[in-house]
């Protein structure tokens, strides 16, 4: 047997924290760590496998031979196997060969804490040593201001493999190429943040990254970890924040992954009613096991600390917190109170968010949670789950359903478009038009719009304008910003050639202008999560399918008047109530010619009248373009 030298990075304090589920920097201890021991260079390995009777490191350095480099189990009952192998350095491939105490099962696993992995479909872990020098100090100093709840928050959601491809080479862009092309594009479009669909290593392309095997490794599909850091650095140096999709809800059954790791249910819950996801054919983490909770929380903090990530969007929260999620009667068991809530999972999420904000108070954690579970974005000390924001799935569903209707029928569904304002301030909501809305036969967002070509694009412009004027943060999936015609295809590039056509170019110009307006007008962001930032003028004009409301900033003079005309019928003298006397100036019109609108209904400066209207003391007569939104401010 080759030499494995006894060595440990764990103190007794580390072990006690790990066992109690309170060690949240486990990546500093577990995994493979190149270091010098007694003057000799090599690599230290540590892996958690309490069900094992033997653990060996196998790799390209020992011809993948079992037993050549056996690790030693710690004496303290922690289940940690560890040791130092001389002469091993950055770039070597390895796995753990684990002989289980359970039915003599032998598994060969990738390192759960590996910092780098082989390019799929290969599955080995790679010894990696970090030597990246960051240049984003300026961003980190001001990040709190950019990530605040009273700051503009406009997110561009991206799937790196399909955003843009090198067609002639039939490949996706690398991290380094994205640091040029994606960064410059996002900056030009005016988005404040990008959100990347999961970039942690995953084996199966059609999972889009949501079934992870390498939780601590950026996927090798686009480059190495330093190159991913370079992409993050470039975003920050251009004042763009970066959010990562993070998946603590489930993991795949791939043989090299976390499932049945040491021949036992180590990471997954042993009861299939809690440990197996019927929809995704995947395994569910055991949130009741201390070491698993520490693994997950350590992973969240790892990306925030080591990669300077500005936020985590937590996937499928509803599937975590409900015992009966996607299960029929008899396929789940109630908790001790007879309810369908997973108390251990809820406790995990609360602890996760407390640790995130304690360590990184200037980041955001964002929940993709599709139910009416209360207090998702309320602090834990107030009885909430502790997230900073929550996706507003109800707004997305109602709005897309409304806009898919022919305008002639919209007056019968007027409540669908205004209903979101009855509950928008119960959470810190982000309005998502995400990848989930443009797959599986749902069509593209443009593809849902009714009418002839002009009306379809006018409807899309109106939808986006309404989204940006509605309270809440914003999220738009790649391709939506120029009116992608077809559904998203993860295997192919976006249809960038569409920008040769005026209607699509008009949509892009609209999004640029909306992002610019959102950043410029305090009334659109300073109070985007509180009731004081919004006031209806009239939500009841179903006959004309017109909505009008006021958005407000911190200062009394920061007020915007917003009017949406949701049919193709133009109005030349549409009276609305306004809060004070003065002159109104049109600052946005989605029917502008540069957006491929008619350009025929621009409002000149409007002087208010003393005639009370809509419960307001004053009123104004406006031109309302067809299928358009217009916004006004007061001339000071």
Alpha-carbon span 93 to 32, nearest angstrom: 11
Those residues whose C-beta lies under 8 Å from the C-beta of residue 536, and which sit 6 or more positions away, are: 421, 548, 549, 550
What are the tokens at 180?
């040029």
- Give the DSSP H/E element, type plus range, for residue 512: helix 502-520
From 362, 363, 365, 385, select the one nearest 373 (Cα to Cα): 385
Please state which CATH number belongs to domain 531-634: 2.60.40.1180
**Residue 180 backbone class (left: φ over 0; alpha: ψ -120 to 50; beta: rest):** alpha
**How far is C-alpha 249 from the geometric centre of its chain's CA atoms?**
14
Q: Are 479 and 444 in contact (CB under 8 A)?
A: yes
Q: Are 7 and 82 in contact (CB under 8 A)?
A: yes
Phi, psi of 586 (to 5 degrees): -75, 120
What are the tokens at 586?
């049109």
Q: Which residues pair with 251 in a beta bridge?
A: 283
3-class DSSP state of 428: coil
Q: Are 156 and 189 in contact (CB under 8 A)?
A: yes
Alpha-carbon span 80 to 589, nearest angstrom: 63
Res 319: pLDDT: 95
Res 1: pLDDT: 58
Res 92: pLDDT: 97
Catalytic sites, residue numbers: 315, 368
Those residues whose C-beta lies under 8 Å from the C-beta of residue 117, and which sit 6 or more positions away, are: 110, 123, 124, 125, 126, 201, 213, 214, 217, 219, 220
3-class DSSP state of 195: strand
- Tell me the helix, strand and coil percentages in the chain, rounded to 5: 30, 25, 45
Alpha-carbon span 524 to 517, nearest angstrom: 8
Alpha-carbon distances, residue 464 vs 113, 188, 515 (angstroms): 41, 18, 11
3-class DSSP state of 389: strand
Q: What is the mean pLDDT, run by run of 10 residues, along the chain of 636 residues?
A: 89 97 97 96 98 97 96 96 96 98 94 98 96 96 97 98 92 97 98 98 95 98 98 98 97 97 97 92 96 98 98 97 93 94 97 98 97 95 97 97 96 96 97 96 96 97 98 98 96 96 98 98 98 96 97 95 97 96 97 96 94 94 97 92
Alpha-carbon span 122 to 118, nearest angstrom: 6
Angle ∠(368,374,377) on CA atoms, nearest 5 = 55
Would you tell me the crossing angle of helices 137-146 and 225-237 to the nearest 10 degrees? 60
What are the tokens at 155?
């997110």
Count CB-CB contacts under 10 A for residue 120. Answer: 16
Count CB-CB contacts under 10 A for residue 233. Answer: 21
Match 């900056």 to its residue by tokens.
Answer: 187
Q: Would you list the domain boundaries of the chain? A: 531-634
**How far is C-alpha 79 from the geometric centre of its chain's CA atoms?**
34
Res 622: pLDDT: 96
């Amino acid at each position: 047997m080759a030499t494995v030298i006894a060595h440990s990075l764990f103190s007794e304090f580390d072990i006690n924290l790990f066992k109690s589920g309170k060690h949240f920097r486990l990546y500093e201890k577990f995994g493979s760590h190149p270091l010098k021991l007694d003057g000799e260079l090599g690599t230290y390995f540590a892996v958690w496998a309490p069900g094992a009777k033997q653990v060996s490191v196998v790799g390209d350095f020992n011809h993948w031979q079992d037993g050549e480099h056996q690790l030693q189990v710690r004496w303290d009952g922690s289940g940690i196997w560890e040791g130092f192998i001389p002469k091993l350095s950055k770039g070597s491939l390895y796995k753990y060969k684990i002989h289980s105490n359970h039915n003599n099962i032998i598994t060969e696993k990738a390192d759960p804490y590996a910092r780098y992995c082989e390019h799929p479909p290969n599955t080995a872990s790679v010894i990696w040593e970090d030597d990246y020098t960051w240049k984003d100090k300026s961003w980190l100093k001001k990040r709190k201001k950019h990530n605040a709840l009273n700051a503009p928050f406009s997110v561009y959601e991206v799937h790196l493999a399909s955003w843009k491809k090198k067609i002639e080479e039939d490949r996706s862009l690398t991290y380094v190429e994205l640091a040029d092309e994606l960064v410059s594009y996002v900056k030009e479009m005016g988005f404040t943040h990008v959100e990347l669909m999961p970039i942690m290593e995953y084996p199966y392309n059609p999972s889009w990254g949501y079934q992870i095997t390498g939780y601590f490794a950026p996927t090798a599909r686009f480059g190495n970890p330093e190159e991913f850091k370079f992409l993050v650095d470039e975003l920050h140096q251009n004042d763009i924040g970066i959010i990562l999709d993070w998946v603590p809800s489930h993991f795949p059954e791939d043989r090299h992954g976390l499932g049945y790791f040491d021949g036992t249910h180590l990471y997954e819950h042993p009861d299939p009613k809690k440990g197996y996801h019927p929809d995704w054919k995947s395994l569910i983490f055991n949130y009741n096991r201390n070491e698993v909770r520490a693994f997950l929380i350590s992973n969240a903090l790892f990306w925030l600390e080591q990669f300077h990530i500005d936020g985590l969007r937590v996937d499928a929260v509803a599937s975590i917190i409900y015992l009966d999620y996607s299960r029929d009667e008899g396929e789940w068991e109630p908790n001790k109170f007879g309810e369908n809530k997973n108390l251990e999972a809820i406790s995990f999420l609360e602890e996760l968010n407390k640790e995130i904000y304690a360590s990184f108070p200037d980041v955001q954690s964002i929940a993709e949670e599709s139910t009416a579970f209360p207090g998702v974005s309320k602090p834990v000390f107030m009885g909430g789950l502790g997230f900073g924001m929550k996706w507003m799935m109800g707004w997305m569903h109602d709005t897309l359903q409304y806009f898919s209707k022919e305008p002639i029928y919209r007056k019968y569904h007027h409540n669908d478009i205004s209903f979101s304002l009855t509950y928008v301030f119960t959470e810190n909501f982000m309005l998502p038009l995400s990848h989930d809305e443009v797959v599986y036969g749902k069509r593209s967002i443009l593809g849902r719009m009714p009418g002839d070509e002009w009306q379809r694009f006018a409807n899309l412009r109106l939808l986006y304008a309404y989204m940006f004027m509605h309270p809440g943060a914003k999220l738009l999936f790649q391709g939506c910003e120029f009116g992608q015609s077809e559904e998203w295809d993860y295997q192919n590039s976006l249809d960038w050639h569409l920008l040769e056509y005026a209607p699509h170019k008009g949509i892009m110009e609209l999004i640029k202008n909306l992002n610019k307006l959102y950043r410029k007008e305090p009334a659109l962001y300073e109070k985007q999560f509180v009731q004081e930032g919004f006031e209806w003028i009239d939500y009841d004009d179903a006959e004309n399918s017109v909505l009008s409301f006021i958005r407000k900033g911190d200062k009394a003079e920061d007020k915007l008047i917003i009017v949406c005309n949701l049919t193709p019928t133009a109005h030349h003298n549409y009276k609305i109530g306004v809060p004070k006397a003065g002159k109104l100036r049109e600052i946005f019109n989605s029917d502008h010619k540069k957006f491929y609108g008619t350009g025929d209904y621009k409002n000149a400066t409007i002087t208010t009248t003393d005639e009370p209207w809509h419960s307001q003391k004053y009123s104004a007569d406006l031109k309302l373009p067809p299928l358009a939104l217009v916004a006004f401010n007061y001339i000071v």
